Amino acid sequence: MEPIHILNLPQDILYDIFKYFQCNNIHRGLFDGTRYEDTTNRQTVKTARLVCRLFNQLASRLLCPSIQVRIDHDSLDFLTKVSESIFVAESVYSIEIVLDYRPRELAEDLLRFGNHRARQLITNVHNECEQNINMWERGGYGIEIPDYPYSDYRQLMDYCSEMHSAWSGYAAAENNLAEDAISLEKLEIFRQGHREYIQKHEEQFQLITDGSFVNRLVSAMSGMSHCASVRFVDCEDCYSIPSNASPLTFRDDTLEFSRFMTAPLSWRDINRLDGGAENVSAKLLWELPIALHNAGLILRSIFIRRFPHPNWYPVNYPAPWTNLSAACQHLSEFHLESIILRGSSKPFDPLLGREQALIEQYMGAVLSSEALEVIVISFQDIDTIASLYRPSTYYRADLLPEAINWPRIKRLDISHISFSQVELENFCSGLGYKIEDIRLCYMALRSGSWAGILDMLRERAAKKRQSCKYLYELTGGELGQQNTRLIEESRDYVNGVRVTENPLMGRSYST
């Protein structure tokens, strides 16, 4: 009789053992392994796959629960390979789409491209070196000393200044003529970077506009039986000098400098471009969910890191809001981290039609699902510094649907928005009666009273769970400009803890 060993264990127990090593970090793609290291857990799973056929089948199902996809052919090719591997495809639960984009306006204009990159040489690379130099100079005072010599950072700062100066002289010169051989050499570096940028722009533009990016993404997800979540992010590929190599690599390595020159722009940077630029990648926010629905796939979770400035949508964008609403009817979770409505080279007025209407329509379609259980929405404007702490402007409740019906809602987290009493009461009336987690912060009541709203939240909070986790920076009505004591009492009242009577009932408030 053979001795009992690990392979004699039932498969479900073996799977649970392997599951202990599951890595929940987002998989950045095997094609990009030089930039991202595997975690210990993921390496353990990868090693287990090599032991035997059974281990391979079980461990493969834990390999990459979330995969990051960029708008390029290499990324799509990798995703296709994952979808074609039956057991690895079973491990994928979420796709994260990186929406950093290379605008056409920089591809068509060398001068605009050069101005932007020259500015980044100072604001990104030069300033990053300066921070490391400051750390060197303060290293004896409990500040961590950088990994590379002081002189390396100083040399790179000088190089950035020289490159910036050469381009600035060229841009300012009559007929854009360089004065000397050294300047010509540096200008050729900008021109070569621009040629490479054009190629990468054309790749992204074609993938988005001809529908092949969405089609290939949907095709791959069709082979991933557990994948029902999409995350839209940007600011993933903004350039920074390598942390695992000398900063002089930026100057001396052609490939590294090319990476800087061809790097895509975050939506925030696109929004800030002088003269404006069209943000074609924004279309994916609605095109992908609709395409998934048309392919018969169910989408249960959407995460958006930031909603882009409406000024930079394609001019003739479609209005597929009915289709988007249908695509989101099974949605149980929605997250919006921030929006971009200010800081643009074009003005934004929250009372104007097109800018806010497009956001309203999108939010109305996505939040129409009655299956929603988790809603986390922040209308924090990342380009308004004051909004990080005590916002000077709250966006009106028009950004949310007028009529909601969320009978299954368990977690509600909303911030940086203003309501009237009527609007907030209408909103609360659409909530179910078993909310386990309520978080309201940076919320202003423009008119009316908070008292009745507290009663509505108290009725809907799940009993004995202390559902109201967080009330912070609430203003207006009885709370005035912010009454910390009353806010705490209001939270306890909603939770049914210590406070049994509505602390705001009978208090005066301005109308």
Q: What is the mean pLDDT of residues 65-84?
A: 92
The pair of three-digit structure tokens given for residue 89, joined into one six-digit string? 């495809």
When mean pLDDT is compared across 132-146, 194-208, 237-251, the lowest value belongs to: 132-146
* Parallel, antiparallel or unpaired: strands 301-304 and 411-420: unpaired
The total number of structural domains that make up the chain: 2
| 118 and 58 housed in the same domain | no
| 120 and 189 housed in the same domain | yes
The reply to whether 398 falls in a domain is no
**Strand, helix or coil for residue 450:** coil
Residues 6+ apart with CB under 8 A from 116: 106, 273
Domain boundary among 130, 159, 193: 193
The reply to whether 429 falls in a domain is no
Residue 345 has pLDDT above 60, yes or no: no
The string of DSSP codes covering 300-369 is -EEEES-BPPGGGS-TT----HHHHHHHTTT--EEEE--B--SS-SS---TTSHHHHHHHHHHHHHHTT-
Please identify which residue in the block is written with the tokens 């996505």.
366
Domain boundary among 35, 63, 91: 63
| Helix (H) or strand (E) run with residue 174 in it | none
The reply to whether 249 falls in a domain is no
| 54 and 133 housed in the same domain | no
Domain that holds residue 12: 1-63
173 pLDDT tier (thresholds 50, 70, 90): confident
Task: Supply the pLDDT for residue 465.
Answer: 67
| 52 and 120 housed in the same domain | no
| 186 and 108 housed in the same domain | yes
Residue 51 has pLDDT above 50, yes or no: yes
Task: Supply the pLDDT for residue 500.
Answer: 85
| 110 and 58 housed in the same domain | no
| 114 and 178 housed in the same domain | yes
d(CA 330, CA 174): 60
| 108 and 189 housed in the same domain | yes
The reply to whether 131 falls in a domain is yes
Render pLDDT for 125-153 as a digit per residue (tens, 0 to 9).
Answer: 888 888 888 877 776 555 667 778 888 88
Amino acid at 432: G
The reply to whether 404 falls in a domain is no
The pair of three-digit structure tokens given for residue 327, joined into one six-digit string? 């695509």
Print burial letters for 20-50: b (CB count within 10 Å at least 16), e (below 16). Answer: ebbbeebbbbeeeeeeeebeeebebbeebbe
The reply to whether 17 falls in a domain is yes
| Helix (H) or strand (E) run with residue 395 in it | strand 395-396
User: Using an 8 Å Cβ cutoff, are 291 and 215 in contact?
Assistant: yes
Task: Supply the pLDDT for residue 11.
Answer: 63
The reply to whether 369 falls in a domain is no
User: Using an 8 Å Cβ cutoff, are 136 and 145 in contact?
Assistant: yes
Q: Which residue has the higher pLDDT, 78 or 241?
A: 78
Q: Report the predicted TM-score, pTM, of the whole model to 2 decimal places.
A: 0.84
The reply to whether 149 falls in a domain is yes
Residue 303 has pLDDT above 90, yes or no: yes
User: Using an 8 Å Cβ cutoff, are 99 and 175 in contact?
Assistant: no
42 pLDDT tier (thresholds 50, 70, 90): low
